[in-house]
């Protein structure tokens, strides 16, 4: 039996083509967990646990009778823990617990512990996430041996970088509205600040860094 004269050439060509095809497969890009990252990364039931540390700057007080007044307080430190539950790819609900302390010009201390529920909407651009939120609740406060428990509200905006599917890191800014509606004059807790106040509203600015765990 005689083999075709061109058979060795055909066999060599077959092995060359197979070798080049194998090299092309090895050079193909490796798929990662982030290869399919889309703006609809979140879905109903996704959750995050958030931790923040930062500073709070007293801005001013607004007295119902005397107008705008200085706070007579230095900037303070704050920390917060919060939880969010996503209703869809953008809207979320949650809760937050914060704590802050300040020193005053009279060398006293002021403590506040805001507690409340929050809701918000999150924009996403590539691996950057921009949550906008509103927290509403109550805030126990203590100063000069006096205490007050009242309403608290904080609109906030943040930007986070999604480092990997589980963790993201970012910065946050919040505007604190802290009213004290005592309804009485010469409140002992306000004695070193403004005598004769009935209702007063405090405004503060929060600047913090944060980390989010996604699950």
pTM of the entire predicted model: 0.71
Query: Which tokens belong to 82?
Result: 């919060």
Fold of 47-214: Porin (2.40.160)
Question: Which CB contacts under 8 angstroms, 24+ apart, belong to 114-120?
Answer: 114/138, 114/139, 114/152, 114/154, 114/176, 115/139, 115/140, 115/152, 116/152, 116/153, 116/154, 117/93, 118/82, 118/84, 118/93, 118/94, 119/91, 119/92, 119/93, 119/94, 120/84, 120/91, 120/92, 120/94
The answer to whether 89 and 97 have CB atoms below 8 angstroms apart is no
33, HSE (Cβ side, Cα atoms, 13 Å):
7
Closest to 202 measured CA to CA, from 33, 23, 59, 37: 59
Under DSSP, is residue 98 helix (H, G, I), strand (E, B) or coil? strand
Digits of tens for pLDDT over the chain (215 positions)? 454 555 455 445 554 545 444 544 444 444 445 555 555 578 899 999 999 999 999 999 888 777 788 888 889 999 999 999 999 989 999 999 999 999 888 778 899 999 999 999 999 998 999 999 999 999 999 887 778 899 999 999 999 999 998 999 999 999 999 998 876 555 444 444 444 446 888 999 999 999 999 99
């Amino acid at each position: 039996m005689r083999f075709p004269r061109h058979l060795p050439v055909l066999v060599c060509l077959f092995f060359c083509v197979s070798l080049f095809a194998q090299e092309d497969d090895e050079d193909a890009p490796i798929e990662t967990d982030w290869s399919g990252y889309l703006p609809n990364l979140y879905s109903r039931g996704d959750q995050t646990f958030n931790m923040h540390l930062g500073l709070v700057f007293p801005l001013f007080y607004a007295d119902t009778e005397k107008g705008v007044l200085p706070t007579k307080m230095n900037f303070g430190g704050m920390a917060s823990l919060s939880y969010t539950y996503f209703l869809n790819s953008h809207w979320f609900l949650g809760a937050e617990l914060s704590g802050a302390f300040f020193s005053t010009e009279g060398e006293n201390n002021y403590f506040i512990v805001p507690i409340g529920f929050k809701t918000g909407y999150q924009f996403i651009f590539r691996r950057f996430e921009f949550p906008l939120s509103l927290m509403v609740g109550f805030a126990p406060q203590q100063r000069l041996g006096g205490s007050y428990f009242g309403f608290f509200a904080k609109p906030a905006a943040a930007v986070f970088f999604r480092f990997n599917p589980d963790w993201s890191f970012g910065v946050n800014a919040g505007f604190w509205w802290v009213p004290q509606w005592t309804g009485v004059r010469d409140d002992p807790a306000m004695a070193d600040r403004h005598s004769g106040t009935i209702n007063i509203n405090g405004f503060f600015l929060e600047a913090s860094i944060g980390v989010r765990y996604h699950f």
